[in-house]
Structure 1
Amino acid sequence: MKRIIGLLVFVLLLCGCDDGDLIQETINFEDVTTQNCSTNEIIYKLRDSEALILEIKNVTFPVETTTQELEISTTNRVYYRFYNGEVTSATICETIPPATPTVTNQWIATSGTIVITTTAVKPLNPDDNSTKITGYNHNITFKNITFDTGKGTQVYETFPFGDYQIAATPLPFSFNKTLEQCATSKQLYDYNSSEALILDVDSNLIVNAVTPLNEPRVGLISDTKNKLTYRLFSGLVTGDYFCNDTFPTSPAFSEEWIAVTGIANTSGIVEVTTTTNGSGFRHTVVLKKVKMKKGNSDFILGDAYLFGDLLTTN
């Protein structure tokens, strides 16, 4: 009898402590690849008969290193769905989804913050230690997210959604390595139809005198001397763009990258080697360990990037 009474008391206590909340469950999609729908603003993860769905409207994933926070709302929504069979992309993305599988349960996020931390994907070229931005990785985490499970609420202080990568077209850098120089400003530049690399060169580096073997003239990148600028244009660029008092407004450039200030014997170094070229001179300009920067993003030209050759006469 005592055992029966004790069991009844335990059951009553257990029922009395139920406030409608579910026991905390672990949801883990971190090892699942993120996918996206091409026809709407949904990104998602699928695992067997479960789907974790994030819908973000009117938000552009940035193409620079940054962090942004979005509040979960009727515009930015999060769902955790359970199906009665294996779920596929068609189930999530099609305007008219397949008849099966069907949703058996759905958790809807009612509050919380979506934190998106964006970093550039920059694979290293081991041959010259250069990097190129090939995409951007968006790491998504939910903070203090509350799900309405239909039977109560479930809260996560930190809930990692995972990474979502978007590919980017690397900058062309398709230069012919034949430099031109402005008569007045002495600015060096190389260009093609869509891009330009411009060096406000220190006049002490371009001298019509042969440099001793293995003793090039050396300067450092800075904002006042040897400023290096890369521009990617949205229209056709011609030689008329250069050597003006100010750069023309057309064609407009879509991207501009500025070299980071150099450090002696370490980075951001400009080297000029001068040799004879018939009755004139050939000035070979090499950029060593130069980092190009735009906003919070950057990439490295490499240990020794050949800017090009400038031909001069006495």
Structure 2
Amino acid sequence: MKRILCILSLLLIITACDDGNLTVDPIDFSAGAILKCSIKDVLYKVQGSEMMFIEIPSSYFANDETVEGAPLEVHLSSTIKVTYRRYASDTSELNICPTAPDATPNLVEQWQATEGIIQITATAIKTTNLAENSTRITGYIYNITFKNITFIKPDGPQTQETVQFGNYTTTVNPLAFGFNHEVDKSTCTTKVFDFSGGEVFTLDVADYDALFAPEPTTTPRTRLISADNKLSYRLYSNTITDAYFCAAITPTTPTLTQQWDAIDGIEATSGIIEVSTVHIGGDYIHTIRLKKVTLKRGNSEFSLGDDYLFGTLITH
């Protein structure tokens, strides 16, 4: 009898403890693309009558890759929010995006996240020119995952270790590279420039006089891109000229919007500057080619290809 009473008591204790457990309602918004409201910094997904959205500044999607294995981590706060909603019938962006969102269909249930981390992994989208073996960046994919996120539901809090929100895709205009390949030496430095509107391609070598010597070549002169031999692409908000770089104080306009610097070269492998010189009349024509050069900004990079014509420089 005592044994039976002990078993019954134990069952009562277990039952009493179990009554306090909350039901976990799994959230799965992994299918489909994440969309962005056009007039506010809100990313959202709609699945029939369900919606999940993030209020997050667009600065967290800065058109750059994240380091592999090291996603960007953004903690929820009073300004960065994750919300789940269920409506009485199918919902749409009209219930979240307009300044005055639609009141129909009726909102049935809302969960507000109070704790958690938004993990963002960014990867560049690239197009490849197979003939040149070159690449250009046309956009970025941001994979978004919620880690250790706690929602306050009508029946209490719910914490999930991982919730996949999915992919948010942006597009960028590929760099124009609208150069005519007729380059000039700067009037104030030994840099060699090619200008095209707001674009400028700059080659800055330590031994300019040797690389562009007034002597015909039988084999090209070569240099590796390095701290002494730098190649840089810059994009400005307006037309750029040599005067900008020669000014004693850097002008406030036009403004620099992008800068991509070449990665250091490897002997006989990549990052090679090649100059061939011919003598025509009283001029020396130096043809500058770039072999297997990669340009990088932040964590993003793209290739100019196996053989890119930087341009021709004429000296006397």
- TM-score past 0.5 threshold: yes
SS of the counterpart of 2:95?
helix
1:69 and 1:151 mapped to 2: Cα distance?
Answer: 29
Partner residue in 2 for 1:273: 276
Moved more, 299-308 or 276-285: 276-285
Using the size of structure 1 for normalisation, the TM-score is 0.85
What CA deviation, in whole Å up to 9, does each residue of 1:275-295 have, x standing for no partner? 343442321111111111222
Query: Could you tell me whether the CA contact under 8 Å between 2:76 and 2:114 is conserved in 1?
Result: yes
Choose which of 248, 253, 270 in structure 1 pairs with 2:256.
253
Equivalences for residues 163-312 of structure 1 within 5 A: 163-182=167-186, 185-201=189-205, 202-203=207-208, 204-212=210-218, 215-224=219-228, 226-242=229-245, 244=246, 248-251=250-253, 252-312=255-315
What CA deviation, in whole Å up to 9, does each residue of 1:133-161 have, x standing for no partner? 22232222111101122113221112121
SS of the counterpart of 2:117?
strand
Identity, % of aligned positions: 41
1:143 and 1:152 mapped to 2: Cα distance?
Answer: 19
Using the size of structure 2 for normalisation, the TM-score is 0.85
Q: Cα gap change, 1:44/1:253 in structure 2, threshold over 3 Å: closer, same or farther?
A: same
SS of the counterpart of 2:285?
strand
SS of the counterpart of 2:243?
helix
1:123 and 1:247 mapped to 2: Cα distance?
Answer: 39
Q: Is 1:103 aligned to residue 107 of structure 2? A: yes
2:223 and 2:193 mapped to 1: Cα distance?
Answer: 17
Query: Could you tell me whether the CA contact under 8 Å between 2:276 and 2:287 is conserved in 1?
Result: yes
Task: Report the CA distance between 1:206 and its aligned residue.
Answer: 1.6
Q: Cα gap change, 1:29/1:275 in structure 2, threshold over 3 Å: closer, same or farther?
A: same
Q: What RMSD over aligned residues (CA atoms) do the two structures have, in Å? A: 2.7
Partner residue in 1 for 2:26: 26
Query: Could you tell me whether the CA contact under 8 Å between 1:20 and 1:153 is conserved in 2?
Result: no
SS of the counterpart of 2:96?
helix
Q: Which residue identity is paired with 2:77?
A: S
Moved over 4 A (4+): 9-16, 57-60
Moved more, 268-277 or 233-242: 233-242
Unaligned stretches of 5+ in structure 1? 1-8
Partner residue in 2 for 1:48: 48
Query: Could you tell me whether the CA contact under 8 Å between 1:62 and 1:118 is conserved in 2?
Result: no
Task: Report the CA distance between 1:58 and its aligned residue.
Answer: 7.8
Q: Cα gap change, 1:133/1:277 in structure 2, threshold over 3 Å: closer, same or farther?
A: same
Partner residue in 2 for 1:37: 37
2:141 and 2:249 mapped to 1: Cα distance?
Answer: 34
Partner residue in 2 for 1:80: 84
Task: Report the CA distance between 1:42 and its aligned residue.
Answer: 1.1
1:57 and 1:199 mapped to 2: Cα distance?
Answer: 37
Task: Report the CA distance between 1:78 and its aligned residue.
Answer: 1.1
1:256 and 1:95 mapped to 2: Cα distance?
Answer: 36
Equivalences for residues 8-157 of structure 1 within 5 A: 16-22=17-23, 24-57=24-57, 59-66=59-66, 67-157=71-161
Task: Report the CA distance between 1:268 and its aligned residue.
Answer: 0.4
Query: Could you tell me whether the CA contact under 8 Å between 2:285 and 2:314 is conserved in 1?
Result: yes
2:293 and 2:168 mapped to 1: Cα distance?
Answer: 29
Query: Could you tell me whether the CA contact under 8 Å between 1:81 and 1:106 is conserved in 2?
Result: yes
Query: Could you tell me whether the CA contact under 8 Å between 2:234 and 2:260 is conserved in 1?
Result: yes
Count of residue pairs brought into register by the alignment: 301
Query: Could you tell me whether the CA contact under 8 Å between 1:124 and 1:130 is conserved in 2?
Result: yes
Unaligned stretches of 5+ in structure 2? 1-9
Moved more, 196-205 or 262-271: 196-205
